[in-house]
Amino acid sequence: MSAAPQRAKAGAEKIEVIVSAVLPLNDLVTRFEFKRKDGNRFPTFSAGAHTVVHMRDGDRQRLNPYSLMSDPADTETYAISVRRDDEGRGGSLFMHNNVKVGDAMEITYPVNLFSLDLRAKKHVFLAGGIGITPFMAMIAQLERSSDSWELHYSVRTEALGTYVDQLVSKYPNKVRIYYDDQSQSINLENLLDGQPLGTNVYVCGPKGMIDWVHKTAAAAGWPDANVHSEEFTAPQPGKEFQVRLCRSEKTITVGENESLLEAMEREGVDAPFLCRGGACGQCETNVVSSDGEFIHRDHWLEPDEHGNKIMPCVSRFIGKSLEIDR
Amino acid sequence: MSKFQFPESIKSRPVYGTLKARPGKYHLMIADAEGAEAILHLHEQDAGLMAKAHIIYIPKGSNLGERLRAIRPAQYYEGPTYEAAASRIERVLEATHMGTQIYLTGTEGLMGQAMRACMNAGIPHTAIQTEHRGSVARRMQCVHCKGITEDVETDPFECSHCGLNLFVRDHYSRRLAAFQGVCIDAEDPGNVPEKVELYK
């Protein structure tokens, strides 16, 4: 993964948008469409990119990353599909319950941590549930360039099969749906066997699915470079802890239900970030001193960095004292 | 011992490792000269490999072919030159699938050309294993006439195409599978340093 660009201010540049459509797709998933407030066109994005949506929830600011799932060539409208998570930290619930057509919001410029390898001779997509979203954009991009692809999409039930009808009717020979409640599952070993040289596999779904794909592909002799995955980790709640920010000369308390990054932002500290899900590396922060235990939840740091670095977007700390270089 | 420790150099210069048996559906091994020893060593690591292996070997005057045959790979081919084997390598790569492991060993020229063929077939270069064995002679491209001179053993050397005196650089092209040779006496024609054997 390459380093994200260094910027003067935290996060990717923002775009002011108006919510142009709110379309419930099923019991759990709703699509939100945005147009630019200034009437201009959006930048084109590369399929697989996400945007961080800024939500103003009372006096609390929520920032959640969502994959852009609209056609990357459509610069009139950006669309995301949000799965409601009743047990989550509230961002998706806020989107579902509070966001209405005509609302003004801010989203960031697209950032891509899950891009297509366009040297590939063929692209095989493996989606689990709401993991379908980046593939919607990838499929649109590859259809335009007439590249070879196929999608294997695992959903819980027919009723919860987001975009299943659309995909199956448009691409009947390229899409296969697997229904959990009918005990159907992707036969991965079989699927990987015999793929042409230069095939790339992409997986987006629950962590277990991602690990399973990496492991099975490696055992079948697939190079790591041909297996791509994206997983955003939502910050998990945890015990309250104190942290000294030595550059800002502040000592702050990270509450039970907020991340270290969110606590710094609440205190007005301009901390860098891009994905807010432990994947991009942008918020990496040096630990100056610590007496206690880290709870590392990111996909970025190497194990040997765990003592002297922390990713404030998803990771926490339990112990006596923590001082970080921010 | 056919191994040579190359000194550290610029980033462009390829570095080689040691072949290790990896899980795979099919194992394509391409070697020349003393590279055969690295394949024999691979066989010692995992004797099961050979049942799914295809060895393409260019002896270049060595007599290790019989020993390779004796470890009974599923397929074995021996050819006089890389050029003679090239169409076979291309055909094998066309028909092969994901899950194929590639092992390249021997001289730099052989590994470079075979790696180029594999990359063109869609295998990322990071997934291709290499192990240098035998001669340190290089495959050089004259940056002036673009002609390739194989098995260059001295620095400087004369381009086998245009005759210029060329300085042997570590600057390497994966696309050409060759190091770059640059005219050494362009500004003062005839003022050519004495030839020195590479790495001597």
Tell me: the pLDDT tens digits for A99-154?
999 999 999 999 898 999 999 999 999 999 999 999 999 999 999 999 999 999 99
How many Å apart are CA B79 and CA B85, to the nearest integer?
Answer: 6
pTM for the whole thing? 0.87
Residues A161 and A251 in one domain: no
Q: Domain with A170 in it: what CATH number?
A: 3.40.50.80
Q: Please tell me which residue of chain B has the smallest CA distance to A201.
A: B98
Which site among A123, A124, A189, A197 would you substitute to test the B interface, given the most B Cβ atoms closer than 10 Å to its Cβ?
A197
Which CATH class for the B26-132 domain? Answer: alpha beta
pLDDT over threshold 50, residue A1 = no
Residue A55 lies in a domain: yes
pLDDT confidence of A61, banded at 50, 70, 90?
Answer: confident
pLDDT confidence of B37, banded at 50, 70, 90?
Answer: very high
Q: Please tell me which residue of chain A has the smallest CA distance to B94.
A: A197
Task: Name the B residues in 149-168 with CB < 8 Å from any A CB.
Answer: none
The boundaries of the domain holding residue A217 are: 122-230
ipTM for the complex? 0.86
Query: What is the number of structural domains in chain A?
Result: 3
**B99 contacts A221? CB cut-off 8 A:** yes
Q: Domain with A99 in it: what CATH number?
A: 2.40.30.10
Residues A108 and A131 in one domain: no
Tell me: the pLDDT tens digits for A207-222?
899 999 999 999 999 9
* Chain B contact set for A119 (CB, 8 A): 122
Mean pLDDT for all residues in chain B? 96
Per cent of chain B over pLDDT 70 is 100
Give the three-class secondary structure for A137: helix
Tell me: the pLDDT tens digits for B88-99?
999 999 999 999
Tokens standing for B137? Answer: 């002679």
Which long-range CB contacts under 8 A does A210-218 form with residues at least 24 apart? A212/A188, A213/A126, A213/A188, A216/A188, A216/A189, A216/A192, A217/A192, A218/B23
Residues A131 and A226 in one domain: yes
**Pairing outcome for strands A78-83 and A29-36:** antiparallel
Residue B189's pLDDT is 94
How many residues are there in chain A?
A: 326
pLDDT over threshold 50, residue B150 = yes
Residues A154 and A62 in one domain: no
Residue A124 contacts B, CB cutoff 8 Å: no
Residue A187's pLDDT is 97
How many Å apart are CA A286 and CA A51, to the nearest integer?
Answer: 26
Residues A23 and A51 in one domain: yes
Residues A33 and A95 in one domain: yes
Which string of b and e fits A200-219 if b means at least 16 CB within 10 Å?
bbbbbbeeebbebbbebbee
Residue A210's pLDDT is 95
Residue A4's pLDDT is 52
Residue A32 lies in a domain: yes
At A49, which helix (H) or strand (E)?
Answer: strand A49-57
pLDDT confidence of A199, banded at 50, 70, 90?
Answer: very high
pLDDT over threshold 60, residue A289 = yes
At A204, which helix (H) or strand (E)?
Answer: strand A199-204
pLDDT over threshold 60, residue A98 = yes
Residue A194 contacts B, CB cutoff 8 Å: yes
Residue A203 lies in a domain: yes
Which of A197, A230, A263 is a domain's end point? A230
Residues A42 and A108 in one domain: yes
The torsion of the CA quartet A138, A144, A146, A152, rounded to 10 degrees, works out to 30
Mean pLDDT of B179-188: 96
Q: Please tell me which residue of chain A has the smallest CA distance to B23.
A: A221
pLDDT over threshold 50, residue B11 = yes
Residues A130 and A224 in one domain: yes
Which of A230, A264, A289 is a domain's end point? A230
Structural domain spans, chain B: 26-132, 138-195
User: Which of B25, B96, B126 is nearest residue A220 as measured by Cβ atoms?
Assistant: B25
Residues A38 and A72 in one domain: yes
Residue A81 lies in a domain: yes
Mean pLDDT of B152-163: 97
Residues A252 and A314 in one domain: yes
Which of A210, A230, A250 is a domain's end point? A230
